[in-house]
Amino acid sequence: MNENVLSVTGLRKIYGEKIAVENVSFSVRRGEIVGLLGPNGAGKTTTINMVLGVLEPTAGKILIEEIDLARHRSKALTSTNFAAVYAPLPGNLTVAQNLRVFGLVYDVKNLSARIEELLKEFDIARFRDVKCGLLSSGESARVNLAKAMINQPRLLLLDEPTASLDPSMADEIRTHIRSIATRGEVGVLWTSHNMQEVEEVCDRVLFLSKGRLLLEGDPKKLPAEHGKSSLEDLFIAVAREPLTLGTKP
Amino acid sequence: MINPRRSFAVVLRYLYLMRGSFSRVMPLFAWVAIDIVLWGFISKYLNTVTGGLNFVPTLLGAVLLWDFFIRVMQGVTMTFFEDVWSRNFLNFFATPMQISDYLGGLIISGVATSLVGLIAMMVLAGGFFGLSFFSIGIALVPFLLTLFVFGIALGVLACALVLRLGPAAEWFIWPIPALVSPFAGVFYPVSTLPRWMQIVAHALPPSAVFEQMRAIVAGGAASGAALAGAFALALAYLVLAGWTFARTYRYAVRVGLIARYSAETVS
């Protein structure tokens, strides 16, 4: 069995004359959490949208569990799921209703039992009949994660899952995602602007700048390799002086 | 190939919304009831002033069929608008859901809601104004079926328009039935129209439905060939509408509109 749940090769996206993503290649292995980092507008969300099949690449190939997304979109996305702050679940449905609807969308077997498991696992059973629009940010984040796990995905895409959460709630979410990854079946692609969080959670990071993949490596070692004292300093350098850091071959 | 569970997810989402919402359930009955009551009394009044003529089947029957057609179209578009209003496109389309699954869900929702409206109209029109379609019997099926298919086709086309132009384009959708009605000959024979309007009328399946319905009400017989032609035309429109929606979706994925739908445009 191939260890990669996601393989991206030569990904490119051009809007008119603007290059949003240029020749990006990377992979995510099972049980691995990969941080996709970069300043605003670096191409992180564009990359994630292409992996989710809602944005067509201008060039490049995306394989999810070795299935070509461009050719077998539905099959490839069966083993994928995501949570993003900019894609909240419909606020006019309750937690249980949303989980049921998306469970059907992902064609989950024994759906009622799976919903019960998730309500328990994410400690949201008491919100079962509460409309998602009435939940706090932390509660919403947990419900979004429950929805993201409904189909027991092999590839989990998390676009700033802890943004706008208080430190305690963010820590809870991080711990939970870490525990999901350590079970060994799920590969996670994670974007965040919180470098401390990235250092704590991610096994590997990819730095994007102006649509190009600039650096890749262990978040604990990468700063020193580039003469920086912390990941945050490295991030700032990527954002302000990307040319001084060179481009990943 | 449609995945029934995914289509059912779209239907179930709409059912959940309907279940707890008076403001969503009421319009299924309210507007059709108002139309039936209004046109019922107009028909009765015309009966008294013209003496001997019965306007109930002509006018009220036409209103009932036309309202049914509008309900079908709006049933499809309303289900779609729920995704627009709750900004749910990314959640739905970043999944294994295929366009055929999604359209299947929209159509089933449209069918279900329009049937509710049809039953309400039939009960009102029959109970208060003595209009009975049951006398026509099974012959009514091709009439309803043609309006049904054309209503779905217009609904899907309207969804494609909103998908392409953004949420604000919703306002283009509501007047579509009013724009079609003069050409459809709901209340008068198509021959009443000027030549250019007749050409447009013949390209619209409802015109044949209402022409043939008038023939029955006048004591004659409906032309099977005309009805079959209208049904085939409605089916062709449905295929065209599905194709248009799929093309629009592919365009939206290519330019990034699905991911940034609230921006309305990517330029």
Nearest chain A Cα distance for residue B148, angstroms: 27
Name chain B contacts of A54, Cβ cutoff 8 Å: 90, 93-94, 253, 258-259
**DSSP element (H, E) containing A82:** strand A80-84
Q: What is the pLDDT of residues A89-143, one digit of tens each?
A: 999 999 999 999 999 999 999 999 999 999 999 999 999 999 999 999 889 999 9
Choose from A104, A110, A130, A144 for mutation: most chain B CBs within 10 A: A104
Residue B98, exposed/middle/buried by CB under 10 A (0-12, 13-18, 19+)? buried
Q: How high is the pLDDT of residue A96?
A: 97
Q: Please state, for a pLDDT cut of 90, what percent of chain B lies above it.
A: 55
Of B24, B7, B19, B16, nearest in space to B108 by CA: B7
- Say if residue B266's pLDDT is above 60: no
Q: What is the pLDDT of residues B109-146, one digit of tens each?
A: 999 999 988 888 888 888 888 887 666 667 788 899 99
Q: CA quadruple B127, B130, B131, B135: dihedral positive or negative?
A: positive
Residues in B lying within 8 Å of A, measured between beta carbons: 3, 5-6, 8-9, 12-13, 16-17, 82, 86-88, 90-98, 250, 253-256, 258-259, 266-267
Global pTM value? 0.90
Q: How high is the pLDDT of residue A244?
A: 64
Q: What is the pLDDT of residues B39-59, one digit of tens each?
A: 999 988 888 888 777 788 788
- Say if residue A242's pLDDT is above 70: no
> How many other CB atoms are found less than 10 A from the CB of residue A232?
16
Contact A54 B253 (CB under 8 A): yes
Cβ–Cβ contact A74 with B under 8 A: yes
Confidence band for B99, pLDDT divided at 50, 70 and 90: very high
What's the mean per-residue pLDDT of chain B? 89
- Say if residue B170's pLDDT is above 90: no
Contact B96 A75 (CB under 8 A): yes
Q: What is the pLDDT of residues B141-166, one digit of tens each?
A: 889 999 999 999 999 999 999 999 98
Contact B94 A53 (CB under 8 A): yes
- Say if residue A5's pLDDT is above 50: yes
Of B3, B256, B267, nearest to A55 by CB-CB distance is B256
Long-range contacts of A18-25 (CB under 8 A, 24+ apart): A19/A210, A19/A211, A20/A46, A20/A211, A21/A46, A21/A47, A21/A50, A21/A57, A21/A208, A21/A211, A22/A211, A22/A212, A23/A60, A23/A212, A23/A213, A24/A60, A24/A208, A24/A211, A24/A212, A24/A213, A25/A60, A25/A213
Given a contact cutoff of 8 angstroms between Cβ atoms, the answer to whether B13 and A93 are in contact is yes
ipTM value of the model?
A: 0.89
Least confident of A90-94, A115-119, A167-171, B89-93: A167-171
Contact B3 A107 (CB under 8 A): yes
Q: Please state, for a pLDDT cut of 70, what percent of chain A lies above it.
A: 96
Q: How high is the pLDDT of residue A74?
A: 95
Q: What is the pLDDT of residues B10-34, one digit of tens each?
A: 999 999 999 878 889 988 888 888 9
Confidence band for A249, pLDDT divided at 50, 70 and 90: very low
Contact A105 B95 (CB under 8 A): yes
Coil vs helix vs strand at A68: strand
Region B209-228: what's the mean pLDDT?
Answer: 87
Confidence band for B236, pLDDT divided at 50, 70 and 90: very high
Q: How high is the pLDDT of residue A245?
A: 63
Of B6, B91, B253, nearest to A89 by CB-CB distance is B91
Residue of chain A with shortest Cα separation from B90: A87
Contact B253 A53 (CB under 8 A): yes
Confidence band for A166, pLDDT divided at 50, 70 and 90: confident
Contact B96 A102 (CB under 8 A): no
What's the mean per-residue pLDDT of chain A? 91
Region A201-214: what's the mean pLDDT?
Answer: 93
